[in-house]
């Protein structure tokens, strides 16, 4: 169907664009051809929203923004562009415009130095889960349902 909007997927704080892999495959199988995934810099909510908005501005026609977890806050901030036709929150923060996830939860994010156990972990996006991540989130079975 040619009148389907482009879909822009926005990952959460502890994820990356690759986490949408199975979703992209399924959406494509169901006829959604214009699929885009933002790789957030995770430097600030403003930077992440700007990265998302930059991608949305490059897409001609209607755009549906989909955010998971922290990505919900990002799509709320980036969702005011004229070609954005909807926001989808997938187990995500759904703040009011200008509200942060910390304001919703009553906490603030504090940067800590990594504890010794995590200091030797591979960098995000390196393709390696490392022993800690494998223990917390073991690899999925080779065949997905």
* pLDDT tens-digit map of 18-47: 999 999 999 999 999 999 999 999 999 999
- Cα 87 from Cα 36, distance rounded (Å): 14
Place domain 6-98 in its CATH homologous superfamily.
Alpha/Beta hydrolase fold, catalytic domain (3.40.50.1820)
Residue 140 confidence (pLDDT) above 90: no
Q: What is the pLDDT of residue 139?
A: 60
Q: What is the pLDDT of residue 125?
A: 56
Q: Is 127 helix (H, G, I), strand (E, B) or coil?
A: coil
Q: Is 28 helix (H, G, I), strand (E, B) or coil?
A: helix
In whole numbers, what is the pLDDT of the chain averaged over residues?
A: 82
Q: What is the pLDDT of residues 84-128, one digit of tens each?
A: 999 999 999 888 877 777 777 776 554 444 444 444 555 555 555
Mean pLDDT, range 55-75, rounded to an integer: 96
Q: Is 10 helix (H, G, I), strand (E, B) or coil?
A: strand
Residue 57 has a CB neighbour count (10 Å cut-off) of: 13
Q: What is the pLDDT of residue 108?
A: 57
Q: What is the pLDDT of residue 112?
A: 44
Sorted by where each begins, the domain ranges of the chain are 6-98
């Amino acid at each position: 169907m040619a009148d389907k909007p482009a879909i822009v997927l926005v990952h959460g704080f502890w994820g990356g664009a690759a986490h949408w892999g199975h979703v992209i495959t399924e959406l494509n199988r169901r006829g959604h051809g214009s699929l885009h995934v933002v790789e957030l810099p995770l430097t600030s909510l403003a930077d992440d929203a700007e990265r998302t908005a930059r991608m949305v501005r490059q897409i001609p026609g209607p755009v549906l923004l989909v955010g998971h977890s922290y990505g919900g806050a990002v799509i709320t901030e980036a969702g005011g562009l004229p070609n954005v036709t909807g926001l989808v929150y997938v187990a995500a923060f759904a703040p009011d415009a200008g509200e942060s996830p910390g304001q919703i939860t009553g906490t603030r994010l504090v940067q800590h130095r990594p504890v010794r156990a995590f200091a030797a972990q591979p960098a995000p996006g390196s393709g390696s889960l490392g022993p800690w991540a494998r223990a917390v989130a073991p690899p999925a079975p080779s065949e997905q349902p």
